[in-house]
Every structure is written in structure tokens, then in C-alpha cells.
């Protein structure tokens, strides 16, 4: 078995697609609309779905925001240059909520940003991503 995708409900599909493609470098893999049940799905990722886990962005027509709740944590993305990645997010109008630096009690360099709907995205430097946080 493997993880296929993570679904996020978004309030503005075009705004979210712009963030994930322009600020985070993903590409739109496919989109579909269901007119009967009034929703649109967009699947985004860094590689094809048969090779990599992807994001499913779900836009329920007419719903512009969601209560995020307290159970959701974040999406983690590995990056070669965490500082440049945060700057790219910032220059694209994104919000960096934790500047790059070592995780508390460890040496792994991480940072956090928020997508347009407030979902947290963690960046982890690729050179230490496999070692695990705190190592």
C-alpha cells in the first residue's frame, strides 16, 4: 500500500492552484467538475500520481471558507534550499509563519508557511529530511 493523496477543502480553487503551482512549484495533474453535486476537484503534485502522493484540492461551489479544526497538522515538503523556498513563497504573497531554522532540540532546518486557506505547510531541508526531526 501507499499514500495516494491528501484532500484539502479550499475556498477559491484558482487562488489555491496559483499558490501551489507558482509558490510551491507543483503542477496541475488533472481537474474534474461534478455539476450534479456542485464541486470541482484539482489534483496537484511534483510527479505523476502513479509515482508520488499528491494533493487533492476540493472546491465545493459557493463555500468560500472552512473552519480548519484542531486535528489537522501540516503537509511536509522537502526542499534543497529552504531559504530560497521561503523567499519564493513570500514574494508570491504567501505567509511565512516560522522562518527557517533548526527544529527545537535538534539540527534539522525547518520552516512553516500557510496556504491561502490557512493550511500549514512545513518545509524540511532535503539533506536532513530522511534523518527525521530532532536528529
Is 65 in the active site? no
User: Per the annotation, does 56 bind a ligand?
Assistant: yes
User: Are the C-beta atoms of 48 and 54 separated by less than 8 Å?
Assistant: no
Cell numbers linked to 91:
514574494
CA distance 76 to 78: 7
Which of 99, 114, 122, 125 is the catalytic position?
A: 122
- Residue 5, annotated as binding a ligand: no
Whole-angstrom distance, CA of residue 78 vs CA of residue 64 = 29
> Alpha helix (H) ranges present in 45-102?
82-91
What is the Cα–Cα distance from 7 to 95, expressed in whole angstroms? 21
Whole-angstrom CA distances from 35 to 21, 46, 70 are 25, 28, 31
The set of catalytic residues is 122
Q: Which residues are annotated as a binding site?
A: 56, 74, 122
Could you list the residues known to form a binding site for Zn(2+), using ranges. Answer: 56, 74, 122
Amino acid at each position: 500500500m501507499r499514500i495516494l493523496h491528501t484532500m484539502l477543502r479550499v475556498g477559491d480553487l484558482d487562488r489555491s492552484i496559483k499558490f501551489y503551482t507558482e509558490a510551491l512549484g507543483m503542477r496541475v495533474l488533472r481537474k474534474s467538475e461534478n455539476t450534479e453535486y456542485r464541486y470541482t476537484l484539482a489534483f496537484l503534485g511534483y510527479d505523476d500520481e502513479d509515482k508520488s502522493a499528491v494533493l487533492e484540492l476540493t472546491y465545493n461551489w459557493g463555500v468560500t471558507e472552512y473552519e480548519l479544526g484542531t486535528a489537522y497538522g501540516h503537509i511536509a515538503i522537502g526542499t534543497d534550499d529552504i531559504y530560497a523556498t521561503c523567499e519564493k513563497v513570500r514574494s508570491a504573497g504567501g505567509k511565512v509563519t516560522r522562518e527557517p531554522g533548526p527544529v527545537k532540540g535538534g539540527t534539522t532546518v525547518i520552516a512553516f508557511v500557510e496556504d491561502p486557506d490557512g493550511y500549514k505547510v512545513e518545509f524540511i531541508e532535503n539533506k536532513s529530511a530522511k534523518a527525521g526531526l530532532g536528529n
